[in-house]
Structure 1
């Protein structure tokens, strides 16, 4: 799991605002984030995140565009999926991984177990608070990349507020970046 988080533990503002993520971002922290994404063999997310970002990435430029468009996707939904939201996918080669995303509409834990049983590089989970909260609840995350931004939001969307059992993590890496971001990598 890779997630940006405020010092006070929120991943989004009260209305899912995320513009704060870019205020403390710097070249080094972006390069670190791009490298984490590049390590993945599959990017997973919830339906809401998919619907918001799938139309953006195929025409995007910058360091995140290539890995976001090249790496296969899987989408998890409980409320159905309307199929491809990229009707011009054949016109945009970068849209292929979005148009071909695997859709899982059953039990989240069963879907994650299925994906983890398949060969390949690591799975990287990105997305919104609801999907991440549900993913954390499965207990199936092996590694947490928590990118802490130097600000307090005061209120907002949390992903650890539903944890019912303590989870001991092992810090395996911490990087401090010039803009004040600290990236912590924890393993189970």
Structure 2
């Protein structure tokens, strides 16, 4: 996650009694920031302050499960532009707001995707899972 998302989540999860708090506090987290000096406000959090693509490559080389990106659009846009996203999980809700930040920034070239899986929920929500087509 990026710094802004980290600061918001670190202000909530460590003291929350939400049913997901234990899992959120125990899962390893990485905050990408060149300005943050410590990540002591939220357990199991470390800072990645180097080149984002290199930091992602190091994380992918570590043992463990999938990496999940959480954060604002600026952080997600940086990952998309670097080409380090292996899978897109998009949730389409049955509502339209008429505004909001685009998911995909201005790309230098088209990003071709292939549908891996789709799930329609009774609520009308669709989960679409895409992977880069190349």
Match status 1:71 vs 2:38: no
C-alpha displacement of 1:47: 0.7
C-alpha displacement of 1:153: 2.1
Deviations 1:36-63 (A, max 9, x none): xxxxxxxxx111100011121121413x
Q: Once superposed, which parts of structure 1, at least 4 consecutive aligned residues long, lie more than 6 Å away?
A: none
Q: Which residue of 2 aligns with 1:96?
A: 43
Q: Which residue of 2 aligns with 1:152?
A: 96
Inter-partner Cα distance in structure 2 for 1:118 and 1:141: 16
Q: Which residue of 2 aligns with 1:135?
A: 79
Q: Which residue of 2 aligns with 1:50?
A: 6
TM-score, normalised with respect to structure 1: 0.64
C-alpha displacement of 1:118: 1.5
The answer to whether the Cα contact below 8 Å between 1:51 and 1:85 also exists between their aligned partners in 2 is: no
Match status 1:178 vs 2:122: yes
5+ residue gaps, structure 1: 1-44, 87-94
The answer to whether the Cα contact below 8 Å between 1:57 and 1:68 also exists between their aligned partners in 2 is: yes
Inter-partner Cα distance in structure 2 for 1:183 and 1:67: 23
TM-score, normalised with respect to structure 2: 0.87
Computed over aligned residues only, the root mean square deviation of the Cα atoms, in angstroms, reads: 1.7
Q: Which residue of 2 aligns with 1:84?
A: 39
Higher helix share: 1
Deviations 1:91-133 (A, max 9, x none): xxxx522xxx121112211111111122221111111111001
What secondary structure is seen at the aligned counterpart in 2 of 1:174?
strand
What secondary structure is seen at the aligned counterpart in 2 of 1:178?
coil
